[in-house]
Amino acid sequence: MAVSLHVDRIHCEGYGMCAELLPEAIELDDWGYPMIRDGVLPEHLGALAERAVEVCPVLALRLVSPERMRPTLQSRSLAPHTALRSQGGG
């Protein structure tokens, strides 16, 4: 089954252990918070991704099916009618 990495942004405290384990899929920004490469996780990284989920000290990393991912504003600005969540609740 295809999976994507999801970070709970509220709980993430920027320990950065996920990026150490999975540099192919996760980079850190200037403040140490993870930036996940877009899209489905390549299958060969599955085991490492599960390990990264386990070692996150605040349990902020999850593997989810791609359709559970929230649309970003960037995708919204290209197609204005695709995002249900909004400032102001539509």
Partner 1 sequence: MLATATTTIEPRLLAGQPFAAGAESWDQHRARLGELPRSPGLAGIIPSIERSGLIGRGGAGFPVGRKWRSVAERSRRGAVVVANGAEGEPRSAKDRALMHLRPHLVIDGGVLARAAIGADELVIYVGSEHGEAVRSMSRAIAERGGRDPVAIRLVEAPRGYISGESSAVVHYLNPRDARPTSALERPFERGVGSHPTLVQNVESLAHAALIARFGDAWYREAGRGRTRGTALVTVSGPVRFPGVHEIEYGITMADLVAMTGGATTEIGAILIGGYFGGWGSVRDLWGAPLDPVDLGEAGLGFGCGLIGLLEADACGVRATERIVRYMAAESARQCGPCIFGLGAMAAALDRLAIRRPLPDDLENLARWSAQIVGRGACHHPDGAAALLTSGLRVFGDDFDRHQRGHCAHPSPRAGED
Size of the residue set binding partner 1 (CB under 8 A):
35
Cα angle for residues 42, 59, 84 (degrees, 5° grid): 70
Q: Contacting partner 1 (CB under 8 A), which of 17, 33, 37, 55?
A: 33
Largest CA distance in the chain: 41
Q: How many CB atoms lie within 10 A of CB 64?
A: 11
2-21: contacts with partner 1 (CB under 8 A): 6-14
Binding site for partner 1 (CB under 8 A): 6-14, 29-33, 35, 64, 68, 70, 72-74, 76-81, 83-90
